Amino acid sequence: MAYETNRRQFLKTGTAAGLGTVLGGISLAGRAAQSEPLAQKIKLPPIDKVRIGIVGMGGRGNALLSNFLNMKDDVEIRAVCDIYPKRAEAAQKRVVRANLAKPEIYCGDEDVWKKLVDRDDIDAVIITTYWEWHTPMAVHAMKAGKYAGVEVPAAYTLEECWELVNTSEQTGVPCMMLENWSFRSDNLAVLNMIRKGLLGEIVHCHCAHSHDCIDHFFFDSRTGMDRWPAKYLVEHNRDQYPSHQLGPVISWMDINCGDCFDYVTATSTDAVGINEHFADKFGPDHPNAKRKFAQGDIVTTVVRTKKGKSIVINYDMQLPRPYDNRWLIQGTRGLYNEQRNAVYIEGQSPKYHEWEPFEPYHEKYRHAWTREPTLGGHGGTDLRELKLFVQAVKNRTQTPIDVYDSVIMCVHGPLSELSIAKGGVPVKVPDFTRGKWRTRKPRFAI
């Protein structure tokens, strides 16, 4: 009963100032809080089931819904929302077919999602909408006292990065970007190897998002006409999809908990491949065969950290190629190479300066999170990350990926655009932790 009373009071007042009311008049508005979760501030007890609302019932929203339907003991889908009524209705029917209570539908209005977020029977909001809505919805959710689980990228602009950080700090409500590659079994095994010192002191990393998305993500495969992300290729030249590359890297390199990004430099090739794709597939008279795109084919961003380490990040989503992440993490005693599925460890690998297979290391250093059977999308990573998100909401604790990790995986997007526009000059990266990176301890997958 105390939980519901405190929660209703928080939801009624809504903002950080309202949280101050719950705390006896101590308002957090106008200053940076310590970013501990809401439960730690107003002493909410754990809950048995997490009541979820999902905003955005397109392809990604339905994929995440499938995972939630495999978590019936832990979650209730209270509401679903989409601007297209048929999508919301279809999602509602899926929940009912799974023998769960019928969720409320919100649809047909660009702002109707606010009604879902403001419900007093929602504990967490899952956001799988178009990019421009990610930050506004996550901010509204946190101000309403709801955990925010937001799809990638959580923020598109530098201003949005700060808005997420400031809101989470002021309200004490966690915000987690749902970056599934952080939860891959191979990446978690590499993290265990690094923490046990096998690679020595980490000094360098390479990572990429290499995924030909021209004919299904950016444009319609049948007609070649624009889908919603196409406008970003027309208007911007930057790393458009920044988080998949960095998902495992920030924990490998103790970013935000021992080290911090210092500055980035970025370079882009010319825009050639998109026009050529449309000319080849649809003929030279297709509108997109002649259209001017701001986005170059390949963007390379280089990060230097405060501790003098380097990260090379490639964006490669417009040229024909197989999918690849090209992770390589290198330390003073060895390295891991995802493309080769191999490692080399000085003094331990059986042959001098020759690769050995990674798989035995994968099994030996397998993370506890990955010992269950693989279920769900993307090799089990989607279900894994959602289970951990739900566990945090149930226990009223911080999410495995916190708001600082979420924005640091996004910020080189806008900063790469600025560096490219200025001819590749270094651009400083804001310290979103406000200096706390110096004393924060690693907590992801501990």
Query: What's the pLDDT tens digit per position in 88-127?
Result: 999 999 999 999 999 999 998 999 999 999 999 999 999 9
**151-178: average pLDDT:** 98
pLDDT band at 10 (very low <50, low <70, confident <90, very high): very low
| Rounded-to-integer distance, Cα 82 and Cα 148, Å | 17
Distance of alpha carbon 214 from the chain centroid: 21
With beta carbons less than 8 A apart as the criterion, state whether 146 and 3 touch: no
**170-188: average pLDDT:** 97
- How high is the mean pLDDT of the chain? 91
pLDDT for 25: 24
With beta carbons less than 8 A apart as the criterion, state whether 30 and 42 touch: no
Q: What is the pLDDT of residues 283-309, one digit of tens each?
A: 999 999 999 999 999 999 999 999 999
What's this model's pTM, rounded to 2 decimal places? Answer: 0.92
pLDDT for 376: 76
Cβ neighbours for 140, distance < 8 A, ≥ 6 positions apart? 114, 117
Block residue for tokens 């048995």: 48
Residue 256 pLDDT > 50: yes
**211-233: average pLDDT:** 97
pLDDT band at 379 (very low <50, low <70, confident <90, very high): confident
pLDDT band at 371 (very low <50, low <70, confident <90, very high): confident
| Rounded-to-integer distance, Cα 240 and Cα 424, Å | 17
Q: Which range has the worst mean pLDDT, 32-36, 132-136, 138-142?
A: 32-36
pLDDT for 378: 81
Q: Residue 356: count other Cβ atoms within 10 Å of its Cβ.
A: 16
pLDDT band at 43 (very low <50, low <70, confident <90, very high): low
Query: Which domains does the chain possess?
Result: 2-179 (3.40.50.720), 182-438 (3.30.360.10)
pLDDT for 40: 57
Residue 2 pLDDT > 70: no
Residue 310 pLDDT > 60: yes
